[in-house]
Structures are given as C-alpha cells and as structure tokens.
Structure 1
Amino acid sequence: MSKNRENIFRVKTRKKRNKKKLLFFLIIPLSLLLVATVSYGAHVYKTAQEAANKSYEKFERDGGKSALRDESVTPVDDNVSVLVIGVDDSEARNEGNSRSDALMLATFNKQKKDVNILSIPRDSYVNVPDYGYTKINHAHAYGGPRKTIDTVENFLNVPVDYYVRLNFEAFIEIVDTIGGIQYDVPFEMNELDSNDNQNAIQLMPGYQNLNGEEALALARTRKYDSDFERGKRQQEIIKTIFKETASASSILKLDELINAVGDNMSTDLTFNEMKSFMSYGLNTDLAINTINIDGQGSKMQDGIWYYQVDEQSRSEIENTLREHLDLPVSSAWQN
C-alpha cells in the first residue's frame, strides 16, 4: 500500500470494530429486522417480514442494475452498496417530495467482512442530472429516491445498488417506544418540533430524559454549534438510542419497534435480501470505516451557502469505495 493511500485512510477514515453501531447507525430498519430474525420466535419474525413487505418498492432500472455496473449484483453473493436517505415528510412540510436531510452511502465487502460508511453533507454543491448544480439534498425534491441515486452516482462515480428511504417519524416513534433516552444536553435550546411549531422544543443544559421530538430536535439543530459538532452529536444520540433498544426491556417491544420503522420506510430491498446482511451483523470482528468528504462552506454568487467539496478528497473517496466493491479504480490511485 502506498504512503499516499495510508495517509488517506489515516486522515479520512476511522475504523470501528463495533457491530452494534453498524446495525443502528447505518440502517435503522435493517437493524430491527436483523434482530427480529435471531430473537424470540415466529411472531416477531412474521412482524418483521410483514413490515419489510409493506415497505418494499420495486425500483425499475435498465437491466435491473445500476448503470455503473456491468452485471447485476445481490447482497447474498456480491459486494454491494446501500444508500440511506433520511427525509422529513411531516404534514407541515410534505409538499410532494421533500428534500433529504441525511445521506449515507455504505459499501459492504464480503471477502474483507467490513463496511465503509460515507456521510454526504446535505449542502454539497453538485450537479443534479437534468437540473444543474445545486445542493445535493434538492435531488430528492426533484425526483425522489431515483433522482437522488442518479445524483449520488453522478457525483461519486460509484454504483448505488439499493436504497433505504427513512422518514424522521420513525426516529420519533422509536425513541418514544423505548420510553425516551437519557442524554447530556450541551446547551440551552429553543427549536421547532417536527410540525414546525415555533419554540415547541425547549431544553436546558444537563443530563435528562428526552422524548422523540426532543431527541430529533437536538440531533438536527444547526444554530448552536458547527456542522462538525452537529455530526458528532448525531452519532452520540444514535449510539444512545441503540444501547437502549438493545436492552432487555426494549427487546420485549421489538414488534412495536419494527412497526414504527415499517410504517415510515421505503426500500427496494426484499426481506430475503435484508436477511442476507446478517453475515455482517453477526461477525464479532466486523470492521467499520467511517469516511468524510473534505471541503469548505461558503456563500456563492447566488447568495446561498453551499458545501464546496474538495475534488481531490472526492476522487480519493471514489476510488476507496470502488475498490471496496471490487470495481476498477484509476491508475493514479494504485501508484
């Protein structure tokens, strides 16, 4: 491995050997469905299957595959990628397709038994096919998951094999189902709730129990610190939620948790395909590499704030993910 490549992994990735973080941080619905398949019996398994079937949306693509693939792939036999799209479709904001609020692209490698997770900043300045340059989160408003997938593929030159679209109502319902979470709120805050009611969420600093609306407001706010700190805060909140969902008391509420997700999710993964990810979740030595794109935020000539991605960073990440999927990479990367 070249010195340059070692530096890229040292600076831009952080390896986590924690399967629990994957199962919730990566894809909330998959986490619950996977737990259900190995838990306490036929009732929960059936609930998970019904939730998966209800959430399934067939995604028509030429040849049944990404345009960046020569052949179709399946998570049973191949290295695959999954795009996770977090959206806010509350009644107050639901005017057709909403903008995406969170984007994560995960690549799974069966031989290495590891996962790469790329977080894509929602304000990244990219070319949305047929619409031109704008924020990447606008793609979902223009054309839902299909346009989002096209945009991510165009941006990274990495195939998106599957997607999971998750409404934030799932986040709220999960937290409420487990009775809230204990969290150390870092600052006083006044925020909108999920229905855009002004100052509906009011929190003081300190360790306290947060309900679903409060946890979501804390995870999403960008008024009190930086985008970097916001990202760290979101990761800590997600880990706190998973810790509680994995507790003995919450295991008894699995069917409620699965229904909360199933009612607020759409995906082109079938139930059998979801189950195939168990080989990753059950691997105690699972390695997880989290990746971030370098760049800087500033206003452009139109007066709008964008995250302008560093092209070298983008190119390095493209090759990292393509190599992980066992796809050709540029010769410059290999030198």
Structure 2
Amino acid sequence: MSDRPPEGPRRGAPTPEFRRIRSSPTPPGDGPPGDRSSAGPRAPFLPPPAVRRKRLLLLVASTLSVAVLLASGTAWAFSGWMSGKLNRSDVFGGLLQGDRPESGPEGALNFLVIGSDSRDGLTSEEQSELGVGGNVGQRADTMMLVHVNSDRDRVEVVALPRDSWVDIPEHGPNKINASYAFGGPSLAVRTVESATDVRIDHYVEVDFSGFVDVVDTLDGIEVCLSQPITDPKADLDMAAGTHRVGGTEALAFARTRKTAGGDFDRIDRQQQVMSALLDKAMSTDTLSDPGRFTDFLDTALSSVTVDNGLDTATINQLGNELRTVGLDDVSFTQVPVAEANYRTPEGASAVQWDTEAAGDLFSRLSEDRPIAEEDSDEEKEREKDDAADSPRPRDVRVKVFNGMGQPGLGSQVRSKLREAGFASPTKARNWKNTDVTTTLVRHAPERKDQAELVSRALPGSELVEDDTLGEGVQVVLGAEHSTVDTTAPTATPEDGNRDHGTDTARDNVCGS
C-alpha cells in the first residue's frame, strides 16, 4: 500500500450523496449531431477525415459505448464535443489514497467497467419490453476490470462474477455487486481494489437502455448459440445457431442465466456480445457512413458515465495511442473460481475465487504483464514432469474443432469436455474442412498420455501424432462422433474449479 498522505474525508465520515453530473455538450462548428432546429434542414455532421479514415477503437472491449472514448486521431473540437456529451461522476474524490493499492508501471491503465441494472427513468412498459423487471435501487449487473498496457498494443478484460463473495469495506462479506448498491461507484472501486489489489485509474458505467440503443444504432449484431435458450421472464426464445439480434434481444441474450452454466455461461455470452459490438463498430460500414458513425457516437456517449479524470485531453491522447489496436489485441478472461456454489452463512449461493490463481492473474495486471503470458522454461519442464507421472483432466488443455460442419457441435463438445474436468479455455472453431469421418485426437509426441486421456472421453476417436504441435491436445470432430463420456474413470471434474484461459475478441466473433 502507498504511504502517501490521505486525501479526502476520513473513513467513517458521512458518505456524500452520489450524484451524476451531465456536462453540457459544446459542439464543433454549427451544432452537434441531432440538432434539428427550425432554422432549416440540418447540415450533415462529418467527423474530421482522420476520424473517418481510422478505425474506431475500443478502450474497454467490454462495452461498445466506451468505444467512443477512443475515436483515434480526433481533432480537439470533436473531442471536446465528445467529452461534453458524457455523464460524469466524482468517483475517486472521497477515497483515501494511503489505503489504495500502489499504481502500476508508468502508462498502464486499469478501468472498472460496470453495467448498471438501474430501472430509473424506465416506464413499466419499457421495463417489461426489456425483460428487466421493476426492482427498486441499483446493483452492478456486470463488473469487469479492463487493463490497457503501457505500450498501448494490448487490451485485457477480466470479468468479475457479480455473485463473487468478497469483503466490502465497512459492510463486511457480501456479493461483490452489492458494493454498488451500498455506496455507488466509489464503494464499488474500493471493493474491487481491496479484493484484487489492483489500483483502478478510471471508472466507466453503462445503463440498460443505453446498451439497447447502441446496438440498435448499429442495426444489430450477430450472436451464435451452441444450445437453445428459453427464458420466459426475459422474453427470450433462441434456437441453437447464429442469430442477428437487435438491442432488446441482445440485452436479454447477455443477461439471462437460464443455462446449465448459470452466471459463467452468462459471462461467456457477454464477452461474445462485446466482441460482436467491437467488430461492428470497427467495420467499414460504420466508419465510412458519416450519418451512422455520428448517430452511434451520439447514442453511445449519452449512455455512459465516467469519472472526472477522463477529460478531453485524456480521451484524445488515449485515442491516438490506441489507434493500431484490433480484434486480435483484445483479450477476455474471467476470475479463476474455486467454488461456483459456495453457501454463505445466510444460506445464499455465491462464488468463491481460487485465491492462488486469482492472485496470479491480478498480479499480472498490476505489473502490466500479459494475462496469457507463457510460463518459464523451468515451469514448463516441471509441468511436463508432473503430467508424465499421472496426467489429470484439469492439466490437459484441449482445443476443439468442428470437422463435420454441424452448427454448434464444437461448442457442445467443448462444454462436455469441460464438464469432464478438461481445460478448454478457447472457444471451439471450425476445422479447415468439413468431411472428417472419424474424430481425431491430435497431439505432440510428448503429449500422448494426455491425448489418450482425452480419447477415452471420446469413444471411437483416433489418436494422431503430430510433431509440429506444441502445448495441449486438439480434437477434430468427425461424422462418427456420438457422445462425450464424462464418467470416464480418470476424467473426474474438479469440484467447482473453472479454468481462466483467454479468448481474443476475434475468437468470440461468430464465424471467425
């Protein structure tokens, strides 16, 4: 912890009233987009050429709304209009600096991104249409840590399950999303910093209706399902396969927990939605159409609340620094979990983190190291020796490919293998062709024992040795695939353990 002198009120003092302050936009030129005065038809608002030429970047790949903060190469007037449209909150003013984690390496930035489930401002009809109910008060429906590295060539998003059981300062143990209900953004920041020992530099919040409007402004996004989902409460009924969805259905898709994996499946779907939004926002169709581009900016900006530190100069600087970031440079993961159904003293179900693995993940963030950083040669050798003795499913990293073309099959088999205890951190992909007959379990020579373990869970599969392969085992599903044997003697799942491998935004885009 820092030994810097405290700033702001001491703990225990009355908590100041939480208020959002909406800045008054100062438009460039004659007026902002959407100014439809009686003086005549509105002249089309065109961002500077540099903005139209360069791709829109996502600082927080967790939500499209934040992409507007990083429109690269922006002229000062345009950035000033952008900054003026944002809602602002004094998130850090009351925090005691001496009680906060140390800052990371110079230039690295950490954002706390929250999706708020506030129903404020929504009519009963709108609440029903969005399938969000009429709960009073606010909680953080989604919480994520977003890390922007000091070299500005990598963005990493870590999902924090909203039911994570943590200590909330001055309130005691509770689910992490309760921190927002108890004390707004400031207490949410304090809680996340306390639980992760990662210093938060900026805060971003997006609300329900804003998310829906942003998706609709982009004419919808594409999502894909390995299994059907039916959630009457959210008015969601989707078959397996690929779907183009508008804002309301995208919100229901991202929020429902009506699947076997509950909140963990929900996090996977949210990351898929974020990736689809990023892909759509950075597409030529969006950036080359001035009307769509400015409508998107106007809609996204109005749905976002940020801390006071994200001023015009900061936004403009970040935009220029991150102009080369693409889908392959944005990574998603979630906190490693030891117990997914922990029973609290009150008997509620919560999520307990894997203390050691989570500590390693957060150390990487605070030290500005890649979250998917490869182990040292010494660590690899030790893991190899351990695996050679008696490989366990959780030690085997499996990548699944669909070699028969049946939509959703790869995702289904990946889920079953994870149920059997195998680690499969990346989403299933299509194989280079779709005429594979027998399911293949491909492996490097030194991974034969691991491949045999996987093969036992896939009756009728065939081992294929490939000395060009490195870590892990590849499964290529063939037409003769029938089932995954999750009861194989040595394939006993670890109780509640969840692998925290990473996917890139491109991995999450349907059809990639």
Instruction: Give the TM-score of the pair, scaled to structure 2.
Output: 0.51
Q: Distance in 1 between matches of 2:85 and 2:94?
A: 27
Q: 1:294 aligns with which of 336, 357, 361?
A: 336
Indicate if the aligned counterparts of 1:48 and 1:255 stay in contact, CA closer than 8 A: no
Q: Distance in 1 between matches of 2:304 and 2:231?
A: 25
1:146 maps to 2:186: yes
Q: 2:136 aligns with which of 73, 95, 99?
A: 95
CA shift for structure 1 position 166: 1.1
Q: Distance in 1 between matches of 2:296 and 2:98?
A: 32
CA shift for structure 1 position 171: 1.7
| 2:277 corresponds to | 241
Superimposed CA distance per residue, residues 131-172 of structure 1 (whole angstroms, 9 cap, x where no aligned partner): 110110111011110110010111112211211111122221
Higher RCO (C-alpha under 8 Å, 6+ residues apart): 1
Q: Give structure 1 regions of 4+ aligned residues with deviation exceeding 6 angstroms.
A: none
Superimposed CA distance per residue, residues 183-220 of structure 1 (whole angstroms, 9 cap, x where no aligned partner): 3344443436xxxxx45333333433211111111112
Indicate if the aligned counterparts of 1:47 and 1:255 stay in contact, CA closer than 8 A: no
Q: 1:135 aligns with which of 175, 181, 191?
A: 175
Q: 2:83 aligns with which of 34, 49, 52?
A: 49
Matches within 5 A, 1:85-124: 85-90=114-119, 91=122, 92-93=133-134, 95-96=136-137, 98-111=138-151, 113-124=153-164
> How many pairs were matched up?
295
3-state SS, counterpart of residue 298 of structure 1: strand
1:306 maps to 2:345: no
Matches within 5 A, 1:1-335: 22-23=58-59, 25-35=61-71, 37-38=72-73, 45=79, 47-52=81-86, 55-61=87-93, 67-68=99-100, 78-90=107-119, 91=122, 92-93=133-134, 95-96=136-137, 98-111=138-151, 113-191=153-231, 198=233, 200-226=235-261, 227-251=263-287, 252=289, 253-268=292-307, 269-284=310-325, 287-288=329-330, 290-295=332-337, 296-300=339-343, 301-324=345-368
Indicate if the aligned counterparts of 2:58 and 2:66 stay in contact, CA closer than 8 A: no
**CA spacing shift, 1:173–1:120, aligned 2, 3 Å:** same
Q: Distance in 1 between matches of 2:324 and 2:302?
A: 29
Q: Distance in 1 between matches of 2:76 and 2:314?
A: 19
Over the matched positions of the two proteins, sequence identity in percent amounts to: 24
Q: Distance in 1 between matches of 2:98 and 2:251?
A: 33
| 1:9 corresponds to | none
Indicate if the aligned counterparts of 2:61 and 2:275 stay in contact, CA closer than 8 A: yes
Q: Distance in 2 between matches of 1:63 and 1:151?
A: 11
Q: Distance in 2 between matches of 1:321 and 1:94?
A: 35
Indicate if the aligned counterparts of 2:94 and 2:186 stay in contact, CA closer than 8 A: no
| 1:3 corresponds to | none
* One-letter amino acid of the counterpart of residue 278, structure 1: G
Q: Distance in 2 between matches of 1:181 and 1:141?
A: 31
| 1:8 corresponds to | none
3-state SS, counterpart of residue 184 of structure 1: strand
Larger Rg over CA atoms: 2
CA shift for structure 1 position 258: 1.8
CA shift for structure 1 position 266: 0.9
* One-letter amino acid of the counterpart of residue 247, structure 1: S
3-state SS, counterpart of residue 260 of structure 2: coil
CA shift for structure 1 position 22: 4.7
Indicate if the aligned counterparts of 1:66 and 1:160 stay in contact, CA closer than 8 A: no
Q: Distance in 2 between matches of 1:241 and 1:27?
A: 8
* One-letter amino acid of the counterpart of residue 336, structure 2: D
Q: Which runs of 5+ in 2 are unaligned?
A: 1-54, 123-132, 370-378, 380-512
Q: Distance in 1 between matches of 2:255 and 2:94?
A: 36
Instruction: Give the TM-score of the pair, scaled to structure 1.
Output: 0.75
**CA spacing shift, 1:279–1:27, aligned 2, 3 Å:** farther
Superimposed CA distance per residue, residues 285-330 of structure 1 (whole angstroms, 9 cap, x where no aligned partner): 88555443222211414221111111112322332222229xxxxx
Q: Distance in 1 between matches of 2:269 and 2:102?
A: 39
CA RMSD of aligned residues (A): 3.3
**CA spacing shift, 1:208–1:43, aligned 2, 3 Å:** farther
- Of Structure 1 and Structure 2, which has the larger fraction of its residues in helix? 1
